Amino acid sequence: MNKAIEVCILAAGKGTRMKSSKPKVLHPIAGRPMLRHLVSTVQSLGINNVHVVVGSGADEVKKSFQNDDIDFVLQLEQKGTGHAVMQALPHLDESKRVLILLGDAPLLKAETIEKMLKCECDLGVLTVIQANPFNYGRIIRQHDQIIEIVEEKDAGDEQRQISEVNTGVMIADVKKLSRWLDRITPENSQGELLLTDIVKMANSDGDVVKGIVAADPIEVQGVNDFEQLSQLERYYQTTIAKQLMQGGVHLMDPNRIDVRGDLKVGADSTIDINCIFEGNVSLGSNVRVGANCKIIDSTIADNVEIKPNSIIEGASLEAGCSVGPFVRLRPGAQLGQDVAIGNFVEVKKTTLGKGSKASHLSYLGDAIIGAGVNIGAGTITCNYDGVNKHITEIQDDVFVGSNTALVAPVVVGQGSTIAAGSTITKQIDADSLAIGRGRQKNLSNWKGPRSK
């Protein structure tokens, strides 16, 4: 636990360039708000004292994190980064150090933060080497000491040639930070209280100011518009894709996979193009996922085949199952070993036993289906009476003919057969044949509308 460290995340910006009513830090990367990425990274290092400075859309940000132990600090007027940190100062323990992060730079790595925590200095500044440093604050050094950060608008020609730039991330002793902030002024081209000015104050006090250089410019990149957001999204997805492939997963195209949560995949599995994984998803070994599938909060065992264009949410599939194409498994779908669900079948809150199959064009909702059951095309469980949901129970080795309606609550006994086109409203005993349809009647020499 890093009990001697507190974190202050600056998240009060309006995000004007995004032209969105949503607070900037709530825009997602990999399905999670930018701010969530930062908070999770910090918490993974055992830092639990997290303060977030909010302004525009403050209530919406707080609501999104209402289950987190976060101290939200309101910045009523946006007067610069220094002013934002001033709002958090009364909430910080003077005996500790504070790590200052930016809510719109969400992909900062835990290893980089650890480097900052280990840096022996009064003020640590995270920097990065930019091939094109335009519009970044330049780092002015004398040997190992950073003596000044000069913003683009205030920089001279020689200073603008410097490629080492400020990222906005800092670490400092809280007591000294308070003293430095007391002395900054809005005498700059922006007319704001800039956090970067504390570097001058620290130098004037004889304090040690060191730079910690980030390894990768993309991890410290901020988001000001949707183009930059998409760049970070692709960087994140590329990182995940590389990890999957290094773990023995065959991605047909690593540029066409989206992981928006936690995905675990066993060896020798194959994922085709344009697949999306949300929430907590686990795929076993030798799983094949076809193109254009979406899998959400589901557990898939070994040797399962998911054919193209299938949607699986909140489902559990045991070994050897085959589903798709164009299958929808809704929450509560539990498929036993070697179950086969074919095209245009929807399964909701239903269990299917070993070897059962529904090959096409059916709806199975609120049902308990045994082993070795065959569900014919066009079968539906009529589970909803307009007020309540009811259970359909189909026992082992039942054969359900095509175009059957099972009006719940109803029990179909083991080994029974239902004739095609039946509407079943009563219990069927074991080893019986059920026929629930009107008798066919043919009228000879019928003169209908077409005969005229």
Task: Count Cβ neighbours within 10 Å for each residue of 185-213 and write b for 16 or more, e otherwise.
Answer: eeebeeebbbbbbbbbbbbeeebebbbbe
Tell me the mean pLDDT in the region 168-186. Answer: 95
Which of 14, 52, 50, 8 has its CA nearest to residue 169?
Answer: 8
Are 171 and 284 found together in one domain?
no
Query: Is the pLDDT score of 1 beyond 70?
Result: no
Are 276 and 380 found together in one domain?
yes
Are 296 and 400 found together in one domain?
yes
Are 262 and 373 found together in one domain?
yes
Are 208 and 323 found together in one domain?
no
Tell me the mean pLDDT in the region 213-225. Answer: 94
Q: Which residues contact 162 (CB under 8 A, 6 or more apart)?
A: 133, 138, 139, 140
Are 300 and 170 found together in one domain?
no
In a domain, 450, yes or no: no
Tell me the mean pLDDT in the region 226-251. Answer: 96
Are 205 and 256 found together in one domain?
no
Q: Which two tokens stand for residue 393?
A: 């129970």
Active-site amino acid positions:
360
Are 37 and 142 found together in one domain?
yes
Write down the pLDDT at residue 114.
Answer: 96
Query: Is the pLDDT score of 331 beyond 90?
Result: yes
In the structure, what pLDDT confidence band is assigned to residue 449 with cuts at 50, 70 and 90?
A: confident
Q: Which two tokens stand for residue 362?
A: 């059916």
In the structure, what pLDDT confidence band is assigned to residue 451 with cuts at 50, 70 and 90?
A: low
Are 193 and 331 found together in one domain?
no
Q: Which residue has the tokens 């969530």?
A: 36
Whether the Cβ atoms of residue 169 and residue 42 lie closer than 8 Å to each other: no
Q: Maximum Cα–Cα distance for the chain, whole Å?
A: 110
Write down the pLDDT at residue 140.
Answer: 95
Write down the pLDDT at residue 276.
Answer: 98
Write down the pLDDT at residue 155.
Answer: 86
Which of 127-136, 182-191, 241-250, 415-424 has the lowest average pLDDT? Answer: 182-191
Q: Which helix (H) or strand (E) holds 9?
A: strand 5-11
Domain boundary among 181, 199, 220: 220
Write down the pLDDT at residue 14.
Answer: 79
Give the Cβ contact number of residue 162 at 10 Å. Answer: 18
Write down the pLDDT at residue 11.
Answer: 95
In a domain, 444, yes or no: no
In the structure, what pLDDT confidence band is assigned to residue 322 with cuts at 50, 70 and 90?
A: very high
Rounded CA-CA distance 24/16 in Å is 9
Domain boundary among 199, 220, 241: 220
Percent of the chain surpassing pLDDT 90: 87
Chain-wide mean pLDDT for the chain? 95
Tell me the mean pLDDT in the region 129-140. Answer: 92
Full residue range of the structural domain in which residue 253 is found = 249-434
Q: Which helix (H) or strand (E) holds 283?
A: strand 275-283
Tell me the mean pLDDT in the region 340-358. Answer: 98
Whether the Cβ atoms of residue 271 and residue 250 lie closer than 8 Å to each other: yes
Domain boundary among 205, 220, 235: 220
**How much of the chain is helix, strand and coil, in % rounded to 5?**
20, 35, 45
DSSP structure class, residue 82: H
In a domain, 156, yes or no: yes
Q: Which two tokens stand for residue 404?
A: 């059957």
CATH code of 306's domain: 2.160.10.10
CATH code of 34's domain: 3.90.550.10
DSSP SS3 for 88: helix
- pLDDT, tens digit, for every residue of 31-83? 999 999 999 999 999 999 999 999 989 999 999 999 999 999 999 888 899 99
Structural domains counted in the chain: 2
- pLDDT, tens digit, for every residue of 148-170? 999 888 888 999 999 999 999 99
Are 294 and 355 found together in one domain?
yes
In a domain, 187, yes or no: yes
Q: Which two tokens stand for residue 53?
A: 């400075």
In a domain, 378, yes or no: yes
Are 295 and 178 found together in one domain?
no
Amino acid identity at 113: I
Are 92 and 175 found together in one domain?
yes
DSSP structure class, residue 377: T
In a domain, 237, yes or no: no
Which of 130-134, 267-271, 324-328 has the lowest average pLDDT? Answer: 130-134
In a domain, 399, yes or no: yes
In a domain, 98, yes or no: yes
In the structure, what pLDDT confidence band is assigned to residue 439 with cuts at 50, 70 and 90?
A: confident
